[in-house]
């Protein structure tokens, strides 16, 4: 499995990133307890939930 986490990604406590997921966006925040099941390519965003989805854009 190839999991990739790019620059300036903040992954909060108890979050899970399943296999073969790529987080290529910059300044991405994964909220506490979230489960990331799909690739994330947008920058300046907050993702949360099970499964994680876009909650807010910062820019």
pLDDT tens-place string over residues 46-59? 999 999 999 999 88
Mean pLDDT of 1-15: 93
How is residue 16 annotated by DSSP? Answer: E
> Where are the domains positioned within the chain?
4-49
Please tell me the pTM assigned to this model.
Answer: 0.91
pLDDT of residue 30: 97
CA-to-CA dists, residue 13 to 32, 35, 59, angstroms: 5, 11, 24
Q: Shortest CA distance to 35 belongs to which of 51, 47, 24?
A: 51
């Amino acid at each position: 499995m190839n999991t990739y986490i790019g620059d300036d990604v903040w992954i909060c406590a108890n979050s899970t990133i399943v296999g073969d997921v790529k987080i290529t966006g910059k300044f991405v925040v994964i909220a506490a307890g979230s489960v990331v099941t799909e690739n994330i390519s947008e920058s300046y965003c907050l993702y949360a939930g099970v499964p994680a989805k876009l909650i807010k854009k910062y820019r």
